[in-house]
Amino acid sequence: MSERKTTHFGFQEVAVEDKARRVADVFHSVAAKYDLMNDLMSGGIHRLWKRFTIELSGVRRGHKVLDIAGGTGDLSYKFSKLVGPEGLVALADINASMLNVGRDRLTDRGVAGNIVYNQADAQYLPYPDNTFDCITIAFGLRNVTDKDLALESMLRVLKPGGRLLVLEFSKPKHNMLEKIYDQYSFKVLPFMGKLVTNDSESYRYLAESIRMHPDQDTLKEMMENAGFSRCTYHNMTGGIVALHYGVKP
């Protein structure tokens, strides 16, 4: 009898087939107040991180863009303006609650006509080969069970010359900053989660998932192994967040 395959869910070891369900439970719980918590957790700085992602994307009129783990639609909103009526933005998220919040939010902001919403798993993207000019995944890759499989799936649906941008929490570059960040992540975040969403455990998981995510150089190597070229990354806020970039040859 073969051994049951496991992966990490935060600091816990869980069966591979259980991780997606557990991650889904986390985001079902926090979806309604996800944006508010992002602003509180980062002091609003997440908006600057996302703005830099938009600038590096090179997206322009007529492009097709895939926003994976697009959640409440911050990036999709900006991309919909850039691609214009000739272009298309696909906002994809594996979590129905997050996707519904994103759809409602963008509809309220008047976005229509050039955006579609897909409940989709990053590991098995439901799009034809060579479809998109740009793919972004912001604060979502660390929640994917098989990151290598997801990167290969992203490469497949990108057009040759298309860009992948991965915005994700990473490893701080200075020991003192890392110590302060650890205290903040494991003490303050769960407390804030309890106050705002009445859910400290989901934010404890989010802090743990950040620590289990590959560091900057490891993720760059994973992108290269998946087949991306010209891979690089930019540290932001002392390496607390990194933006990785790669091109489909």
Please report, in range form, the residues annotated as the binding site for S-adenosyl-L-methionine: 72, 93, 121-122
Give the residue among 68, 220, 216 at the shortest CA–CA distance from 139. Answer: 68
Please report, in range form, the residues annotated as the binding site: 72, 93, 121-122
> Distance between CA 169 and CA 6 in Å, rounded?
23
Residue 11 per-residue DSSP state: T
> Distance between CA 216 and CA 241 in Å, rounded?
9
> Distance between CA 61 and CA 223 in Å, rounded?
27
Residue in the block written with tokens 């926003």: 67
Burial of 118 (0-12, 13-18, 19+ CB in 10 A): middle
Give the residue among 65, 76, 125 at the shortest CA–CA distance from 99. Answer: 76
